[in-house]
Structures are given as C-alpha cells and as structure tokens.
Amino acid sequence: KAGVTQTPRYLIKTRGQQVTLSCSPISGHRSVSWYQQTPGQGLQFLFEYFSETQRNKGNFPGRFSGRQFSNSRSEMNVSTLELGDSALYLCASSLVAGRGAKNIQYFGAGTRLSVL
Amino acid sequence: SQQGEEDPQALSIQEGENATMNCSYKTSINNLQWYRQNSGRGLVHLILIRSNEREKHSGRLRVTLDTSKKSSSLLITASRAADTASYFCATAPSNAGGTSYGKLTFGQGTILTVHP
C-alpha cells in the first residue's frame, strides 16, 4: 500500500505570494492532518479534515487554509506569505480519528517551503 | 504551543549502549505515542501506550507512562547507528469533541546520535 504522498517536496516563494501544498493520504484513510515544523516552534498542528470537513483547527492566522476532496486528498494554502512561514509542512493521514480512537498518524515526507 | 518538554534535548552514545529519553506533558491524555524523524523528513510511528497502561514493549523499545506525574520515557536497548534520529513524544487528548480530532501535540524532541 502506498504511503502518504506530499507534493511538491521543495518550494521557494517570495513574500506576498501564495502557495498550495498537496497531500494524498494512504488509501482508505479519511482523516488528514497538517503540521508546521520549524526549529523554533517545533511541530505545531494546523488543522484536520475528515470527509471533506474541517473538524479541528490550530492557532494559526486565517492566511492558512485547507480543504479536502471526496477522494480524501487534501490541499493546504498559505496566502500573503511571510518570512516566518518558512518551514517543513507535514501531512499525516489516519484510518480513524475521533473520540477514543488511537489516532496513529502516518506522515508524508513533507514539503519544505522557503520564503525569500 | 507545545504540550511539554523532552529531556534530554540531545543524546550521544556508542553503538550497543541503551538510550533513554523522557517526555513530560500537561493535560489529560487518551494515549501517548513516540515517533522518529530522520533528518528533516516525515515522522514514523514507533509505539503507542494508552493512558491506562504503565509499560509497553516493542522489539528493542520499551515505553513507560506515569499519568500521575504526566511523564513518559522511551528506552532503546542495544542501540545501532541506524537509530540516529530525532525522537518525539506526542499526546492525543482525552477530551471528547472537536479539540481531539486528528490532533497530536508534540514535544520538542530529543536528537539521538549513535556512534558506530
């Protein structure tokens, strides 16, 4: 079974631009979570989608948004990029994510975004 | 914000030695998980321990959980050079409802270096 696939692997953008990152979960997984990883803040939860609905959201500004399609693939978008948005963005999929579930997450290799 | 702290921040040992990493967290949890990350890539799930368990084993890994102290430890026995990586603990909250969906809260991680 194929793992979680994130594209692109690397991105270089300039301040003020916007960017879209893509994530294809493991087949059969319906929950997709996104995380931002930086040296200073570590791994921080962005949001989670399940059945095309955002069920949970972290403490990030509205410039960060996402969506999920009917095939469970997910995208996240960052508008008006700032230098501080430079980070490794990780997507994770889970078979079941809800009350009482184990919530074991399977991560993609990430997209490294550099904002110049 | 991160759930808690990991200790030590960095650990350097020789092959064959044991490595112990500690993690503290702040809120009530459903379970605690350990993940490994190689050199800025995606995270790999290692082991999960539920809040009503005190110890769990998987191969060379041993995890303990003390919910009264809100702490956990990961022991890697007979370490190998291939174990060189960053190790993160992650907690899944116990509260029902929206804040638990798809969200893992990660510690800052321990960088483990195993010298051949």
pLDDT digits (tens, 9 = 90+) for A26-50: 999 999 999 999 999 999 999 999 9
CA distance A49 to B77: 37
Closest-approach residue (CA) in chain B for A109: B42
Contact B98 A56 (CB under 8 A): yes
In 3-state terms, what secondary structure has residue A84?
A: helix
Instruction: Find the CB nearest A97 among B42, B102, B109.
Output: B102
Give me B77's structure tokens.
């026995």
Torsion of CA A33, A38, A44, A47, to 10 degrees: -40
Give me A110's structure tokens.
């990430």
A28 half-sphere exposure, CB direction, 13 A CA radius: 6
Confidence of residue B1 (pLDDT cuts 50, 70, 90): very low
Q: Give the model confidence (pLDDT) of A92-111 as tens digits.
A: 999 875 555 677 899 999 99
Report whether pLDDT(B98) > 90: no
Taking Cα atoms as reference points, which of A114, A109, A98, A115 lies closest to residue A50? A98
Q: Does B39 contact chain A (CB < 8 Å)?
A: no
Give me A45's structure tokens.
């939860």
pLDDT computed for residue B3 by the predictor: 57
Q: Does B52 contact chain A (CB < 8 Å)?
A: no
CA distance A54 to A69: 11
Exposed, middle or buried, A47 (CB in 10 Å: 0-12/13-18/19+)? buried
CA distance B47 to B25: 17
Q: Which residues contact A11 (CB under 8 A, 6 or more apart)?
A: A19, A21, A111, A112, A113, A114
CA distance B53 to B63: 10
Upstream peptide bond of A61 is cis (omega within 30 degrees of 0): no
Give me B35's structure tokens.
């993940």
pLDDT computed for residue B30 by the predictor: 86
Distance from the B70 Cα atom to the nearest Cα atom in chain A, whole angstroms: 18
Q: Give the model confidence (pLDDT) of B26-51 as tens digits.
A: 988 889 999 999 987 889 999 999 99
